[in-house]
């Protein structure tokens, strides 16, 4: 059995590892660390929760420990780019555990935080800078940071960077970094564009793959419910009540819809919080800390925050809205069954979301088990409101004679929902309208 000591890591790093839960290297760590320590460019493919941060972080820190003198003012020796603020914070926290008792300095810069304070933190230089692309470009343009002495570049969650439109930012940043460098690219999936990025920024890279594209965590029990949008909240409530002592992560598609769902759950008595692009960095950090400490039972999040959530106690993932990028399904449910634990994933599929479900099943190369309802017919799918067309309104009651799908009434104005009465059992339909936010699908916010 391979150990961290067998990999040739610095005694200082091995001492720091003794104080963590990391006992033996995961497959991605055991395969990637020797190549990175040897100075090779590397392209690593592994699903979420497999220890990618340590896979690049430990050998990177090992090489930096050999330098022996601090970096020059405003200069950075190693740059790690990540797509979201949550993931950036997670990487920084992990690296600081490994660097405890060493002179290696780790700095983080992200959007939503004080630009002035971040510039101050960089003024004395940094061994490792963990950054979101947008904020790093801000600091480069101000002259607050220099990358001309940067010898190491890590692109973490590279596929998500592409999803969020960071390819142009990456090109801008790369111009500031010497061509003579070691570059590492890590990704949970390997779409065609990732291979093109690897060809552009990596030199003769070794490829390490410990999973297949689209493969989900082995210990996640998955399933799908077919139900109208208006019934989703009550079905979610039933699931949450079945597991009152276990933490759950709920994914919405839009910022507005996720916030609205969180408030609805809180009104029903759940200890719920939310993280999305409309929250400030301090709000997101505080909510994640509360969830991590067990002060919250339910966390509602958008995809922009999905990959920064590494909380082993999450047992259930609910896809309240189906993701419009199929790879994001893998990332979402990868938030449970962390570090070998077991977890469940339940997806709610409305008629307008059949296309998203089919794309996910194509990626997985298998259908999701049906937990309730039946797949929507082609006629139902065709009649369903498309994103941005009142999607999320509750369906008409069969006996009520109300317009279906929010169609205009005789006066030409959309039919207004009646005030919610006393909550009824599952399927009663008394759920506030537009629980999903009603904004166009696929909106993203960069960090």
Order of strands across the sheet that contains 206-209: 106-109, 126-131, 76-81, 152-155, 182-187, 42-45, 206-209
**Range of lowest pLDDT (29-43, 211-225, 315-329):** 211-225
Give CA–CA dist 258/250, Å, rounded.
9
For residue 140, the SS3 value is helix
Contact partners, residue 249, CB within 8 Å, separation at least 6: 298, 299, 301, 309, 314, 316, 317, 318, 332, 335, 336
Which is it for the CA torsion 399, 400, 403, 406, positive or negative? negative
Please indicate, yes or no, whether residues 136 and 242 belong to a single structural domain of this protein: no
Contact partners, residue 351, CB within 8 Å, separation at least 6: 228, 376, 380, 381, 383, 384
Q: Residue 305's pLDDT is what?
A: 60
- pLDDT > 90 in the chain, percent: 53
Look at 386 and 137; give whichever has higher pLDDT: 137
In a domain, 384, yes or no: yes
**Range of lowest pLDDT (225-239, 288-302, 431-445):** 431-445
Domain extent at residue 238: 220-395
Phi, psi of 345 (to 5 degrees): -135, 125
Which of 377, 395, 413 marks a domain boundary?
A: 395
Please indicate, yes or no, whether residues 189 and 288 belong to a single structural domain of this protein: no
Look at 385 and 61; give whichever has higher pLDDT: 61
Q: Residue 9's pLDDT is what?
A: 92
CATH, residue 239: 3.40.50.300
Q: Residue 269's pLDDT is what?
A: 95
Please indicate, yes or no, whether residues 34 and 168 belong to a single structural domain of this protein: yes
In a domain, 306, yes or no: yes
Please indicate, yes or no, whether residues 242 and 174 belong to a single structural domain of this protein: no
Which of 209, 238, 271 marks a domain boundary?
A: 209
Please indicate, yes or no, whether residues 253 and 201 belong to a single structural domain of this protein: no
In a domain, 152, yes or no: yes
pLDDT at residue 379 greater than cutoff 60: yes
Please indicate, yes or no, whether residues 253 and 165 belong to a single structural domain of this protein: no
Q: Residue 306's pLDDT is what?
A: 58
Q: Residue 79's pLDDT is what?
A: 98
In a domain, 437, yes or no: no
Write down the residue that tokens 């390490």 correspond to.
208
In a domain, 434, yes or no: no
Please indicate, yes or no, whether residues 291 and 205 belong to a single structural domain of this protein: no
Average pLDDT of 26-43? Answer: 94
Count the alpha carbons within 13 Å of 26 in the hemisphere toward its beta carbon. 22
- The answer to whether 308 and 335 have CB atoms below 8 angstroms apart is no
Q: Residue 1's pLDDT is what?
A: 55
Please indicate, yes or no, whether residues 78 and 183 belong to a single structural domain of this protein: yes
User: How many domains would you assign to the chain?
Assistant: 2
Read off the pLDDT band of 416 (50, 70, 90).
very low
Tell me, what DSSP letter sits at residue 81? E
pLDDT at residue 278 greater than cutoff 70: yes
Please indicate, yes or no, whether residues 312 and 267 belong to a single structural domain of this protein: yes
* Six-digit token string for 332: 């979402």
Q: Residue 340's pLDDT is what?
A: 56
pLDDT at residue 287 greater than cutoff 70: yes
Read off the pLDDT band of 408 (50, 70, 90).
very low
pLDDT digits (tens, 9 = 90+) for 170-211: 999 999 999 999 999 998 777 777 888 888 899 999 999 886
Read off the pLDDT band of 161 (50, 70, 90).
confident
In a domain, 238, yes or no: yes
In a domain, 400, yes or no: no
Angle made by CA atoms 61, 63, 65, in degrees to the nearest 5: 70
Residue 343 is inside which H or E element, if any? strand 343-349
Give CA–CA dist 394/229, Å, rounded.
6
Q: Residue 138's pLDDT is what?
A: 96
Please indicate, yes or no, whether residues 262 and 173 belong to a single structural domain of this protein: no
Give CA–CA dist 13/7, Å, rounded.
11
Please indicate, yes or no, whether residues 202 and 229 belong to a single structural domain of this protein: no
Q: Residue 419's pLDDT is what?
A: 42
* Six-digit token string for 274: 């939310």
Contact partners, residue 312, CB within 8 Å, separation at least 6: 338, 339, 341
Q: Residue 401's pLDDT is what?
A: 39
pLDDT at residue 390 greater than cutoff 80: no
pLDDT digits (tens, 9 = 90+) for 7-27: 999 999 999 998 887 888 989
* Six-digit token string for 362: 């194509």
Give CA–CA dist 83/90, Å, rounded.
12
Please indicate, yes or no, whether residues 17 and 155 belong to a single structural domain of this protein: yes
DSSP one-letter string for 354-394:
HHHHHHHHHHHTSPPPEEES-PPPHHHHHHSPPTTSSTTPP
Radius of gyration of the chain (CA): 23
In a domain, 436, yes or no: no
Q: Residue 249's pLDDT is what?
A: 93
């Amino acid at each position: 059995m391979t150990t961290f000591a067998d990999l040739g890591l610095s005694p200082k790093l091995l001492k720091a590892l003794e104080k963590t839960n990391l006992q033996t290297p995961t497959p991605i760590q055991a395969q990637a660390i020797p190549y990175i320590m040897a100075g090779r460019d590397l392209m690593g493919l592994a699903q979420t929760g497999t220890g990618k941060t340590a896979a690049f972080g430990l050998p990177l820190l090992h090489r930096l420990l050999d330098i022996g003198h601090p970096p020059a003012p405003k200069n950075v020796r190693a740059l790690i780019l990540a797509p979201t603020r949550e993931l950036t914070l997670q990487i920084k926290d992990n690296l600081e555990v490994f660097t405890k008792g060493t002179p290696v300095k780790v700095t983080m810069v992200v959007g939503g935080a004080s630009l002035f304070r971040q510039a101050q933190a960089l003024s004395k230089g940094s061994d490792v800078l963990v950054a979101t692309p947008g904020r790093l470009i801000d600091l480069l343009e101000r002259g607050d940071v220099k990358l001309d002495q940067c010898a190491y570049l890590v692109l973490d969650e590279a596929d998500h960077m592409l999803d969020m439109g960071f390819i142009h930012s990456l090109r801008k940043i790369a111009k500031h970094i010497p061509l003579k460098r070691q570059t590492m690219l890590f990704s949970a999936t390997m779409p065609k564009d990732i291979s093109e990025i690897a060809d552009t920024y990596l030199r003769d890279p070794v490829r390490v793959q410990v999973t297949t594209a689209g493969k989900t965590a082995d210990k996640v029990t998955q399933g799908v419910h077919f139900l109208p949008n208006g019934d989703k909240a009550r079905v979610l409530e039933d699931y949450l009540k079945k597991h009152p002592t276990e933490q759950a992560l709920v994914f919405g598609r839009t910022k507005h819809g996720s916030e609205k769902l969180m408030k609805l759950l809180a009104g029903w008595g759940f200890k719920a919080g939310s993280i999305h692009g409309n929250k400030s960095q301090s709000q997101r950090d505080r909510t994640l800390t509360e969830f991590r400490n067990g002060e919250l039972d339910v966390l509602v999040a958008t995809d922009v925050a999905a990959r920064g959530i590494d909380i082993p106690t999450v047992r259930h993932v609910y896809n309240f809205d189906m993701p419009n990028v199929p790879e994001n399904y893998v990332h979402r449910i990868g938030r449970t069954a962390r570090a070998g634990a077991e977890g469940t994933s339940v997806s709610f599929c409305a008629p307008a979301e059949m296309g998203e479900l089919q794309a996910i099943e194509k990626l997985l190369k298998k259908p999701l088990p049906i937990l309730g309802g039946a797949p929507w017919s082609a006629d139902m799918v065709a009649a369903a409101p498309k994103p941005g067309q009142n999607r999320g309104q509750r369906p008409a009651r069969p006996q009520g004679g109300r317009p279906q799908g929010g169609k205009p009434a005789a006066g030409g104005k959309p039919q207004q929902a009646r005030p919610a009465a006393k909550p009824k059992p599952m399927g009663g339909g008394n759920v506030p309208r537009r629980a999903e936010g009603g904004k166009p699908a696929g909106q993203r916010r960069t960090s």
